[in-house]
Amino acid sequence: MFGLVASEDGEDHFHPFWAHDRESEKDAFEQAIDFMTARLTRHPHAHIYHYASYEEAALKRLAMYHGTREREVDDLLRGDRLVDLYKVVAESIRTSEPRYSIKNMEAFYLPEGRQGAVKTAGDSIVIYERWRRIGGDQLLQEIAEYNEVDCRSTRMCRDWLVLLRPPETLWFTGRALEPADPVKVAAREEADERTRKIAEALIAGEDVPWRRLLTDLLEFHRREAKPSWWAMFARQDMDTQALLDDAECIADLQPHPTRRPWADKSRSFIHSPSRPRISRCGSATSRYGRARSNRQARSSRSTRTSTSSS
């Protein structure tokens, strides 16, 4: 279930989008994204608040899995519309709680605690599995109520953080985005329309498995490249320590004080000696190391054979 709380005329309203299988999951995902996109169109300066990285990761994963609403998800990420309150809490305040989960933070802005039969994510899984066995609208209602409390708690957490915000602190405005290139936009729309027509023609033909598979493979390489681009842009907001901890990054590079840059480069860099070397399996370094070890092993066996023969 996708759950959203949105303010209408000064009042918060809960909007659930249910799915019980893969087909309905695609429909619910599209409805949730369309709802968010429409809200942001009406309120250009609005943001979507969540707690921790799960929601953002789920949007990316579902857009890739179902091959739908990819451009809308890109716009949410590119425009900094998604605000992770967990990062704000973890980087700005100290608490007496043992963890920074939203359940722990509720001790400060929801002192009466949570009510209802479902109080944790684990409880919601158990209740849903029970619904799958025996059915009953009441069980689904309990899950919806839990999700609504989660959404409203996120809203209350945001308001609590605003109250703690020092007056001199600047408001986050998001990164400045350059206007989209009309030529590239037109080319992308033309490609999307062409892909849509091909997909419709494949599905309208004989109902055989290879047609559905071929439809799913359309635009595969472009979708496959998206996670790498998303990761690259996400790293632009990471600090040095986080980049050093990321095995996919070469972080803490510093200009070389004396070595001249290559002819086609504007600057030479030297790597910080404090970062340990990481050799990934399958890399050129790893293959070279294995090849060298194999040569040494063969040489050793040859020496032993020669010695025993003599």
User: How far is it, in rounded angstroms, from Cα 29 to Cα 34?
Assistant: 8
Above 60 in pLDDT, residue 290?
Answer: no
H or E stretch covering 253: strand 253-255
| High-pLDDT (> 70) share of the chain, % | 83
Going by pLDDT thresholds of 50, 70 and 90, the confidence category of residue 270 is low
pLDDT digit string (tens) for 161-213?
A: 999 999 888 887 777 667 778 898 888 889 889 988 998 899 887 888 898 88
The pLDDT assigned to 217 comes to 87
The pLDDT assigned to 269 comes to 65
Going by pLDDT thresholds of 50, 70 and 90, the confidence category of residue 134 is very high
The pLDDT assigned to 304 comes to 41
CA-nearest of 282, 150, 6, 30 to 17 is 30
Average pLDDT over residues 52-63: 94
Above 90 in pLDDT, residue 299?
Answer: no
Give the position of tokens 């086609």: 264
Question: What pTM does this model have?
Answer: 0.74
The pLDDT assigned to 293 comes to 46
Above 70 in pLDDT, residue 280?
Answer: no
Average pLDDT over residues 44-54: 93
Average pLDDT over residues 298-305: 44
Note the Cα 122 to chain centre separation in Å.
22
The pLDDT assigned to 264 comes to 65
pLDDT digit string (tens) for 96-128?
A: 999 999 999 999 999 887 877 788 888 999 999
Degrees (nearest 5) of the Cα angle 43, 157, 9? 35
Average pLDDT over residues 273-284: 48
206: amino acid identity, one letter: E
Neighbours of 89 (CB within 10 A): 21
Torsion angle of the four alpha carbons 145, 6, 176, 226, in this order, in degrees rounded to the nearest 10: 40
Above 60 in pLDDT, residue 282?
Answer: no
